Chains A and B, each alone.
Chain A
Amino acid sequence: MSNAAVKKIRRPSRIRQKIIVAVLTVFAAVSAVIFLLPTVLTIANSFMSASEISANYGSVFATTEEGSKVYVSERINLKFIPDMVSFSQYFTVLFKSPDYLLKFWNSVILVVPIVVFQLGTASLAAYGFARLKGRLKEILFFVYIIVMLMPYQVTLVPNYLVSDWLNILDTRWAIILPGIFTPFSVFLLTKIMRRIPSVMIEAAKLDGAGELQIFMYICMPLCKSALYSVAILVFIDYWNMVEQPLILLSDPDLYPLSVFLSRINTGEIGLAFAVATIYMIPALLIFLYGEDYLVEGITYSGGIKG
C-alpha cells in the first residue's frame, strides 16, 4: 500500500476523533455546570435583598409556615443575577442576628480540636503501625479498619454509652472526644508512612538516630503534604456533621451551624442564603488553596488493602 493510501484511510478517522473529543468536551462542560450550579446559585442569592428573596421563593418557603401571610409570589423564580446587588442579608447576619454567628462559632469550636488532635494522635499511631511488626499489630490494624468502616448508625450507640458513663453527654466533649479517636486518619497515614523507604530509616539508624529522631526528622517532614490532605478530609467531614449533634447534644444552643441552618424559619428566609454562603466559605477557601492536597489525600485513601 502506498503512503498516500494510508493517509487517505487515516484522515476520516482523525475527523471522527475530533468530533468525539468535541462531543465529550460539551458533555463534560454541561456536567460541570450542573455540578457547580447549586453552589453558584446559593452564593448569587445571598446578594439579593430580603424582599427579593421572598418575592422569588415565597411560594416555596411560605407554605411551611402556618397562618401568617408573607409577601408571596405565585411563581417560583430561580435567578442567577440579583435585580440589585445588596449586602442587606450579610448586614442582618453580621449585625442583627448574633445567633447565627454563635452557631458558626459552635462549628469552629467542635471541628478545630477534632482536626488538630486527630492528626496528632493519628500521626503517632500511624508511625507505630508502620514500624511495628507482628501478629498483634496486624490484628489491631484490622480492628481499626472495621471501626472505620462502620456507619454512624452503629458507632453512635457506643459513643452515646461512653458519653453517658463519663458524664459528658450534652457537652461538646461528647462530640470532640470520639471525633479525635476516629481511626480514619490513622488508616490513611499508616498507608503513607509505610511508603517511606526503609533504606532511609536504616541509614538514619547507622548515623545514630533513635526512633524519636526518625519520627521527628524523617517521618514527619516526609508526610507534610499527606498531613495537609488528611486534615482537609477530616475537616470537611466534621464541618458537615449532622448525625452526632442530633444525638449527643440535646441543647440546640450548642448545635453547629450544619444542623442549625435547616431550622431557619420562614420569617428569616431573607438571610438564609447569606448564612449558607458564610458557612461554605471556610470549606471553599480550603478547597481553593488545597485542591491538590485534597486530590492527593483521596488518591492515598484508595485501596483498603494497600
Chain B
Amino acid sequence: MKKSKSRKQPNKDSVFPAVCLIPSLIGVLIFFIIPFCVIIYYSMVDNAISKEFVFLDNYINVLKNNAFKKAALNTFSFAMISVPLAVVLSMFLAMLLDSKIPFVSQFRTSFLCPMMVPVASVVLIWQVIFHYNGALNEFLANFDVDKIDWLKSELGQVVVVLLFLWKNLGYNMILFLAALNNIPKDILEVATLEGAGSVYKFFKIKLRYLSPTILFVTVLSLINSFKVFREVYLLTGDYPYDSLYMLQHFMNNTFRNIDYQKLSSAAILMAIVMIIIIGALFIAENKFGEDVEG
C-alpha cells in the first residue's frame, strides 16, 4: 500500500479494486506462496527435527536417486515427443478446418469432444484396445504381426503419446483457429496477387503471425504433458512398466513415506526447470515474432 501512495493518483478509486483482490490473494498466499517458501527452507535442511542447514545436499540426493532419474527421463522424453507433435498436428487440424471444407462445425465438435470426456471413462476402451489380448493385436494379427504387450513394453510411450494427442489436439486447434482468423486478410490477398504459392504464404506470412500462438500452445502442451500421468495411472496403476514411470509416480510414492526433504527438493527442481523452459520459449518467441507485434 505504501507504493500506491507514492504514485500519482492514490485516490479512492483504487480502494475497491484493491479490496477485491484480497480474498484471492489471501488464498493464493496461504495455499501456494507461503508453503512454497517453507518448502525452499525444507529442501535445505537435513530433517524436520534437527533442522540443520545442509544447503544443496538434498538436491544432490534427489538427483542421484535412481527412481527420480528414471521418472525425470521418462517425463522428459515423453514431453520431447508429444509436445512438438501436439503443436504441429493441432496447427494442421486448424488449417484443415480453415481450408473451406464443408461440415466445419461438425468436425470442430468431434475434435473437441475428447477434451470433455473424463479420462476415467474412456480408460476401459483403451484397455480393450491396447491390452495384450486386445483389439489392436487382434487386428494386427491379420497382417501376421506378433502380439505386442503395448502397455508393458518400450512401446508404452507410443500408446501414451497417442492418448495425449487424442485428448489435447482439440483445445490447441481452437487456439490456432482463432490465431488464423486474426491474420490480416489483405496481406494474404496481396501475396496471392503477387503470385505467392501456398507454401510461401505459410512459411513467410502465416507462421509469423502464428508464432505467439505456437509459443502458447507449446507451453500449454508442456504443462498438459505432465497430466498424462492420469492416463498412465488409470491404465497401469502405481507401478507401471519402466518406460511409463512418470514424475508424478515418483512423487506419489515419495508422499507415501512422507520424506519432506526429498519431496521439497524434487518439487523445487521441477519448478526451476519449468521456469527455465518457459522463459527460454518466451525469449525465442520474442526474437522470432518481433516484426509483427506492434
Q: Which residues of A pack against B, CB within 8 Å?
A: 21, 24-25, 27-29, 31-36, 38-39, 41-42, 45, 57, 59-61, 63, 75-76, 78, 121-122, 124-125, 127-136, 140, 143-144, 146-147, 149-162, 177-178, 180-181, 183, 186, 210-212, 215, 236, 239-240, 242-243, 246-247, 257-259, 261-262, 272-273, 276-277, 279-280, 283-284, 286-287, 291, 294-295, 298-299, 301-305
Cβ-defined contact, B216 with A302, below 8 A:
yes
What 10 A-B pairs have minimum CB-CB distances, sorted nearest first? A181-B27, A211-B16, A158-B35, A125-B24, A128-B21, A151-B226, A32-B110, A128-B20, A261-B120, A131-B17
Q: Which residues of B pack against A, CB within 8 Å?
A: 3-4, 7, 13-21, 23-25, 27-28, 30-36, 38-39, 93, 96-97, 99-103, 106-129, 131-135, 138, 166, 169-171, 174-175, 178-179, 212-213, 215-216, 219, 223, 226-227, 229-230, 233-235, 237, 247-248, 251-252, 255, 260, 263-264, 266-268, 270-271, 274-275, 278
Q: For the complex, what is the distance from the CA of A143 to the CA of B124, rounded to whole Å?
A: 39
Cβ-defined contact, A153 with B20, below 8 A:
no
Can you list 15 residue pairs at the A/B interface with Cβ under 8 Å?
A31-B107, A35-B166, A42-B122, A124-B24, A129-B17, A151-B270, A153-B248, A178-B32, A180-B27, A181-B31, A242-B119, A276-B120, A277-B121, A279-B118, A283-B117
Given known contacts A28-B107, A147-B28, A303-B216, A76 and B138 CB-to-CB distance under 8 angstroms: yes
Contacts of A287 in B (CB 8 A): 112-113, 116
A4 to chain B, nearest CB (A): 22
Q: For the complex, what is the distance from the CA of A57 to the CA of B119, rounded to whole Å?
A: 20
The secondary structure that dominates the A interface is helix
Cβ-defined contact, A127 with B20, below 8 A:
yes
Contacts of A45 in B (CB 8 A): 124-125
A245 to chain B, nearest CB (A): 11
Interface centre among A121, A284, A291, A302 (most CB of B within 10 A): A302
Cβ-defined contact, A262 with B120, below 8 A:
yes
Cβ-defined contact, A247 with B28, below 8 A:
no
Contacts of A259 in B (CB 8 A): 120, 234
Cβ-defined contact, B118 with A280, below 8 A:
yes
Contacts of B128 in A (CB 8 A): 57, 60, 76, 78
Q: For the complex, what is the distance from the CA of A92 to the CA of B294, rounded to whole Å?
A: 61
Given known contacts A59-B133, A304-B216, A124 and B38 CB-to-CB distance under 8 angstroms: no
Cβ-defined contact, A294 with B125, below 8 A:
no
Q: For the complex, what is the distance from the CA of A299 to the CA of B110, rounded to whole Å?
A: 17
Cβ-defined contact, A284 with B117, below 8 A:
yes
Cβ-defined contact, A272 with B116, below 8 A:
no
Cβ-defined contact, A283 with B118, below 8 A:
yes
Cβ-defined contact, A24 with B96, below 8 A:
yes
Contacts of A125 in B (CB 8 A): 20-21, 23-25
Cβ-defined contact, B117 with A39, below 8 A:
yes
Cβ-defined contact, B13 with A149, below 8 A:
no
Cβ-defined contact, A272 with B117, below 8 A:
no
Cβ-defined contact, B103 with A60, below 8 A:
no
Given known contacts A38-B166, A78-B135, A291-B112, A162 and B35 CB-to-CB distance under 8 angstroms: yes
B35 to chain A, nearest CB (A): 3
Cβ-defined contact, A303 with B264, below 8 A:
no
Q: Which chain B residue lies CB-closest to A42?
A: B125
A130 to chain B, nearest CB (A): 8
Contacts of B178 in A (CB 8 A): 298-299, 302
A48 to chain B, nearest CB (A): 12
A254 to chain B, nearest CB (A): 16
A24-B101, A121-B24, A262-B237 are known contacts; what are 4 more A-B pairs with Cβ within 8 Å?
A32-B110, A38-B117, A151-B270, A154-B271
